[in-house]
Amino acid sequence: AHFDAQWRALRNDLQGQMDELTRSTRSELGRLRGLQTQSEEGARRLDAVLAESATGRQKAERVESQLE
C-alpha cells in the first residue's frame, strides 16, 4: 500500500509537470505566432515603402531626362 501511494504521488507530480509544460508550450507558441504576424506585417510595409521609393526614383529620373 505504501508503494502504491508513493507511485500515485509520483505519477500525479509528473502529470502536473507535463500539464504545466503543455500550458507553457502553448503560451510560447501563441507568442511566436504573434511575432510571426508582426514580422509578416513589417515585411509587407517594407515592400510597400520600397515600391514607393522605386516609383519616386523613376519619376525623378524622368524629370532629370526632361531637363537635359
The cell numbers describing 61, all together, are 529620373
**What digits encode the pLDDT tens for the residues 21-67?**
999 999 999 999 999 999 999 999 999 999 999 999 999 999 999 99
Q: Alpha-carbon Rg of the chain, whole angstroms?
A: 29
Looking at this protein, which amino acid is placed at residue 23? R
CA–CA separation, 20 vs 27, rounded Å?
10
For the full predicted model, state whether its pTM sits above 0.75: no
Q: Where are the domains of the chain?
A: 10-67
Residue 3 pLDDT class (50, 70, 90 cuts): very high
Q: Is 1 helix (H, G, I), strand (E, B) or coil?
A: coil
Question: Residue 20: which pLDDT band, with cuts at 50, 70 and 90?
Answer: very high
